[in-house]
């Protein structure tokens, strides 16, 4: 008998792969793990009794609006598999991850935006080559509305109502009353992201041609036309400072400024390859990456 309500990682992986990395009902790439026969009745994580569902369809299944028979039909024939999306709906066909916020690019996986060292937006690559999004959604009053952890949706302090729109390789998340949102478009290279994120009275807005940092600690900072390689942006609320922080994997990073955006990204890729090569050399030599703050 299982003692934890949290499914073990091997079972989660099996369910993700079975569903082709999206909701069994609709294919949405942010999801929860659902027990067809409720966990409260069986106290076990049996993969034959479990499936991947988006937050909306998980709610429907929980309240009985999606029957157990329909759930098992969706589990047996998941939406993404029917559509041929074996690699998942947020597949990124690039050797290294690059994302664009405003007219700025970030090259490499890891944290992109943070407050006091706590990531608000973190991006990784999954086992299917797809994009894994980790995102903390707070409102202006610093209430946690929702957390997405490597595409797994987790309810925050005040659940719903959430508005989800999506297609193959793009997704939009809105919480209309609080104007918290994310738009992610993996059909373009680099991946384009628009977002408005709040934490501790600070906001990161990535829309149009800029990243705008604004709030009680850091006010009216605009960032445009740069490429951050192995780097993230972090607001230090105690010092009232916006910091550029290196990925711990490398201990250093590169800031590329170039007028032509395509050439800027190419130079960013080259700088990232250099960071990767240097990190590999240090590993072989038994040396840790040099810390940088």
Higher pLDDT, 109 or 161: 109
pLDDT recorded at residue 262: 94
Predicted pLDDT of residue 246: 96
Q: Which of residues 30, 54, 83 is at a domain's end?
A: 83
Residues 6+ apart with CB under 8 A from 174: 162, 163, 164, 165, 180, 181
How confident is the model over 246-264, as a mean pLDDT? Answer: 94
Q: How confident is the model at residue 135 (pLDDT cuts 50, 70, 90)?
A: very high
Nearest partner of 238 among 152, 84, 145, 117, judged by Cα: 117
Q: Are residues 104 and 73 in the same domain?
A: no
pLDDT classification of 217: cutoffs 50, 70, 90: very high
2 inside domain:
no
User: What pTM was computed for the model?
Assistant: 0.88
282: pLDDT strictly greater than 90: no
The whole-angstrom separation of Cα 205 and Cα 278 is: 33
Measured on CA atoms in the order 6, 8, 11, 16, is the torsion positive or negative? positive
Q: Is residue 285 part of a domain?
A: no
Domain count, the chain: 2
Q: Domain residues for 35?
A: 9-83
Which has the closest alpha carbon to 102: 216, 206, 240?
A: 206
| H runs (alpha helix) in 184-227 | none
Closest C-alpha to 117, from 220, 202, 207, 208: 202
Judgement on whether residues 234 and 264 belong to the same structural domain of the protein: yes
User: Does residue 110 share a domain with residue 253?
Assistant: yes
CA–CA distance, 268 with 245 (Å, rounded to integer): 16
Q: What token pair was written down for 104?
A: 């700025």
Q: Which two tokens stand for residue 218?
A: 């850091």
Pair (147, 265) in one structural domain? yes
Last residue of a domain, one of 30, 49, 83: 83
For residues 76 and 190, state if they share a domain.
no
- Per-residue model confidence as pLDDT tens digits over 141-195: 998 988 999 999 986 655 556 788 888 889 998 876 556 589 999 998 899 999 9
Question: Alpha helices, DSSP H only, in the chain?
Answer: 9-18, 39-42, 55-63, 68-76, 79-83, 261-285
Q: Would 4 be classed as within a structural domain?
A: no
pLDDT in tens, 43-53: 999 999 999 99
Instruction: Give pLDDT, residue 293.
Output: 43
Q: Which backbone phi and psi does 278 adopt, to 5 degrees?
A: -65, -40
Q: What is the pLDDT of residue 46?
A: 95
């Amino acid at each position: 008998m299982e003692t934890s309500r949290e499914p073990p990682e091997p079972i989660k992986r099996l369910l993700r792969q079975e569903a082709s990395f999206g909701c069994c009902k609709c294919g949405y790439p942010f999801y929860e793990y659902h027990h067809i026969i409720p966990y409260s009745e069986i106290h076990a994580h049996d993969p034959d009794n479990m499936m991947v569902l988006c937050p909306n369809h998980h709610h429907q299944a929980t309240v009985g609006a999606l029957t157990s028979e329909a759930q098992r039909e969706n589990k047996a024939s998941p939406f993404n598999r029917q559509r041929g999306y074996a690699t998942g709906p947020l597949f990124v066909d690039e050797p290294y991850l690059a994302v664009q916020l405003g007219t700025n690019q970030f090259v490499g996986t890891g944290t992109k935006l943070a407050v006091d060292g706590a990531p608000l937006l973190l991006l990784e690559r999954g086992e299917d080559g797809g994009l894994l999004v980790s995102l903390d959604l707070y409102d202006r009053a610093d209430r946690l509305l929702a957390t997405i952890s490597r595409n797994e949706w987790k309810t925050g302090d005040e659940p719903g109502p959430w508005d989800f729109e999506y297609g193959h390789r793009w997704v939009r998340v809105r919480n209309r009353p609080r104007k918290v949102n994310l738009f992610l478009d993996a059909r373009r290279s680099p991946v384009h992201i628009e977002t408005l994120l709040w934490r501790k009275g600070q906001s990161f807005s990535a829309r149009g041609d800029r990243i705008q940092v604004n709030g009680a600690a850091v006010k009216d900072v605009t960032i445009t036309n740069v490429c951050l390689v192995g780097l993230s942006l972090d607001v230090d609320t105690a010092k009232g400072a916006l910091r550029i922080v290196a990925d711990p994997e490398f201990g250093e990073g590169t800031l590329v400024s170039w007028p032509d955006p395509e050439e800027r990204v190419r130079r960013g890729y080259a700088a990232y390859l250099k960071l990767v090569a240097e990190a590999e050399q240090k590993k072989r030599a038994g040396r840790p990456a040099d810390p940088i703050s």
